[in-house]
Amino acid sequence: MWNPILIWSLKAGLLLSLLYGVYFFLFRNNTQFHLKRVLLLSVLAAALLWPVIKFSASVKPVSNTQVFQKLDESLISPAAEVAPKTAQVGEVQMTETSKTTSALDIIWWVYLTGVAISLLVFFSELVKLTYWRLTGTEMRDLGKNVISHPSVKYPFSFWKWIFIPESVDYSESEWIVIQEHENLHLKQKHTVDILCAALAQCALWYHPAIYLFQKGMKSNHEALADSSVLKSTNFGRYTEILLALSLRTSSVTLGHSFALISSLSKRLKVMKLKKTSKRSSYTSLISFAVLALVIASQTVSYGQNEKANNNLYDTDLGVTIHKGRDYSLIPIFEKSLLQLDDLQLTSYGRISIPFILSDKYQEKVDKIKQTYYSNEEDRTFWIELDDNKDSYYSSLLKPKGIVGTEIEFVVELGNDDLKEFYELTVAWLKERKIGDPTQISNSKSVDFKIISEEDFFQHKYLSIHSYVKSNYERQYNKSDVFSTRQVDKSPEPIGGLNQFLNNVTLKTVRENGLDISELPKTIEFEFVVSNQGHVTRVDLLSKVKGDEETQVKVYRLLRQLNDNIQSVSRIYGWKPALKDNEFVSSKYKIEIPKSLL
């Protein structure tokens, strides 16, 4: 699964590229250097913080596709995808998924290695500067903050000190210029900017935008210092001193070197630029603000849900709902069918979400009840919302279904009807203090949260169903447990067996020193799937061979699998077995290939 830190860095790098590109286009020849410094710091802060700020999204569909939303979707872990319908390709599909997951793990570790190396370089630079400060000689005759050291090759400034070579003797005119230039860096605390950019570079080490940004920031610092010196020094004389003391490479990356050959020609060009008027700068600033807001709105403002953290089991519906492509597996029934106890993990491993009918549709239900069936017939109705015309409840009973089941009414709702349903539902839930974490009135509903309007709008098909009660009297006791041969349709995990096995094995960690060859070829478990879709009585069928130490390691691994089968079953749920058109409890045997571990 993609780590949220890596996803944040991708977003931050993308945003930094866009914002710095706009800045460079509008301000590359601008001479308002103080304004440019503020803008550069704002660009860095926005790029790093904007991707983690949460915004509430509009419930209305939007026509444009936001960059960060597409980025999130493209980085969804393969484990979140719905398993293929054909069981024949199961093992191949799971192997491919495992390989993909391994590749994602490699990318994550490569990223972490880059961060670690960058931090090592950063702190080694700080240690070197600290060492020079502590072991250097204070040159009181040149200034109270001047340090000379034999390892320093060229003059530069860092934090509140000016470092100079120990063996070089500058003329009075040269030293006045050097001191004025470097003191400007220290007075305006340019080192703070450099340190912030250096830390950002550790997190975004792979992205070229951060290096271009650092170069642009240092160039602006030099322009600020140069403009200050030129107020008291002749341009020609200043140029001579810069050329005389120029160096080919910087001695430190965190300091401000007095003159680098690589940037000297550009600095001289900037010094000759005509001063930019305030009016022109304000125009550029307004343009920058407008473009930055457009970029930010298109990248972040939509599709950034509160739970966008790649946790497969954490959504607006509560921790038991898997937010993926399986909205149809979230049953939303009219409130009259549900009790308060239903607002928790229920049959098929799902929370049943209530909704309230508006008066318009309540009249339709009443009319169907009165028109189509006589009072002598004891008929049960259920009303539900779904994301397609084939309802969740009815699809579980196909192809046979309950005798006497009828689909009375199906209609695709418009946004106005859905909004009315949603507002009535939220009001009903809040009145009963359901979904409000500060006002829990029933411990069984602790994990229940009011469904988001966006998710609710996915369920646009309203259907009304009915069946005769006499045709659904239970033939079997809840305690009856059948073998797979005795049922008409075997139980199956919601989402498919491939997805279930993948989730079970992805959460299993093999100990160091446990060779895969020491595991059974296939690991078999047998358990009971109740008529409510719950898994119980998990038993290991496979035998373990090898010495005592090996068996202990293998059994610890098998214990993980046992626990994972139960936990994944609680989260995803199972469709129970069918026998004589009735849900029954049934045994089920599962085989896990050791190649998945």
> Highest-confidence range of 115-119, 307-311, 427-431, 502-506, by mean pLDDT?
115-119
Say yes or no: 492 and 543 in one domain.
Answer: yes
How large is the average pLDDT for residues 47-65? 58
**Average pLDDT of the chain to the nearest whole number:** 75
Say yes or no: 486 and 461 in one domain.
Answer: no
How large is the average pLDDT for residues 467-474? 57
Say yes or no: 123 and 248 in one domain.
Answer: yes
Say yes or no: 189 and 104 in one domain.
Answer: yes
- Measured CA to CA, the distance from residue 290 to residue 47 in angstroms comes to 16
Question: Does 237 score more than 70 pLDDT?
Answer: yes
DSSP string for 148-171: EETT--S-EEETTEEEEESS----
- Measured CA to CA, the distance from residue 423 to residue 532 in angstroms comes to 31
How large is the average pLDDT for residues 33-60? 78
Q: Is 318 part of a structural domain of the chain?
A: no
Give me the pLDDT at residue 65, please.
Answer: 44
Q: Is 100 part of a structural domain of the chain?
A: yes
Give me the pLDDT at residue 432, please.
Answer: 66
Give me the pLDDT at residue 446, please.
Answer: 39
Domain that holds residue 245: 91-264
Say yes or no: 140 and 260 in one domain.
Answer: yes
Percent of the chain surpassing pLDDT 70: 71
How large is the average pLDDT for residues 231-256? 78
Question: Does 485 score more than 80 pLDDT?
Answer: yes
- CA torsion angle for 143, 145, 151, 154 (degrees, to 10)? -60
* 3 state SS of 438: coil
Q: Is 585 part of a structural domain of the chain?
A: yes
Look at 138 and 393; give whichever has higher pLDDT.
138
Give me the pLDDT at residue 209, please.
Answer: 93
Give me the pLDDT at residue 342, please.
Answer: 44
Report which DSSP code applies to 349: G
The continuous run of DSSP H or E covering 590 comes out as strand 582-593
Q: Is 291 part of a structural domain of the chain?
A: yes
Is the pTM for the entire model greater than 0.95?
Answer: no
**Banded pLDDT at 135 (limits 50, 70, 90):** very high
The continuous run of DSSP H or E covering 307 comes out as none
Say yes or no: 180 and 205 in one domain.
Answer: yes
pLDDT tens by residue, 511-570 = 777 777 878 888 889 999 888 778 888 888 888 877 777 888 888 888 888 888 888 887
Say yes or no: 524 and 393 in one domain.
Answer: no
Q: Is the peptide bond before 208 cis (omega within 30 degrees of 0)?
A: no
Q: Is 188 part of a structural domain of the chain?
A: yes
Look at 378 and 370; give whichever has higher pLDDT.
370
pLDDT tens by residue, 310-345 = 332 222 322 233 333 333 345 565 665 554 444 444
Say yes or no: 442 and 348 in one domain.
Answer: yes
On the CB side of 238, CA atoms within 13 Å amount to 22
Q: Dig out the tokens for 138 from the structure.
A: 């204070």
Look at 2 and 549; give whichever has higher pLDDT.
549
How large is the average pLDDT for residues 432-445? 48
The residue written with tokens 């998924």 in the block is 97
Q: Domain ends where: 426, 449, 472?
A: 472
Question: Does 496 score more than 60 pLDDT?
Answer: yes
- Measured CA to CA, the distance from residue 563 to residue 489 in angstroms comes to 26
Say yes or no: 160 and 223 in one domain.
Answer: yes
CATH code at position 574: 3.30.1150
- Measured CA to CA, the distance from residue 39 to residue 326 in angstroms comes to 45
Say yes or no: 12 and 151 in one domain.
Answer: no
- Measured CA to CA, the distance from residue 171 to residue 174 in angstroms comes to 5
Q: Is 347 part of a structural domain of the chain?
A: yes
Give me the pLDDT at residue 324, please.
Answer: 34
Look at 441 and 502; give whichever has higher pLDDT.
502
The continuous run of DSSP H or E covering 129 comes out as helix 90-135
pLDDT tens by residue, 162-221 = 998 887 788 888 898 889 998 999 999 999 999 999 999 999 999 999 999 999 999 999
How large is the average pLDDT for residues 41-69? 64
Say yes or no: 245 and 293 in one domain.
Answer: no
Q: Is 26 part of a structural domain of the chain?
A: no
- Measured CA to CA, the distance from residue 104 to residue 288 in angstroms comes to 37
Q: Is 209 part of a structural domain of the chain?
A: yes
How large is the average pLDDT for residues 57-71? 46
Which range, of 40-49, 164-173, 474-483, 579-588, averages the lowest pLDDT? Answer: 474-483
Question: Does 39 score more than 90 pLDDT?
Answer: yes
Which range, of 84-93, 160-169, 347-356, 388-397, averages the lowest pLDDT? Answer: 84-93
How large is the average pLDDT for residues 72-92? 42
Number of domains in the chain: 4
Say yes or no: 195 and 248 in one domain.
Answer: yes
Phi, psi dihedral angles at 130 (to 5 degrees): -65, -40
Q: Dig out the tokens for 222 from the structure.
A: 């030099």
**Banded pLDDT at 21 (limits 50, 70, 90):** very high
- Distance in Å from the first CA to the final CA of the chain: 16
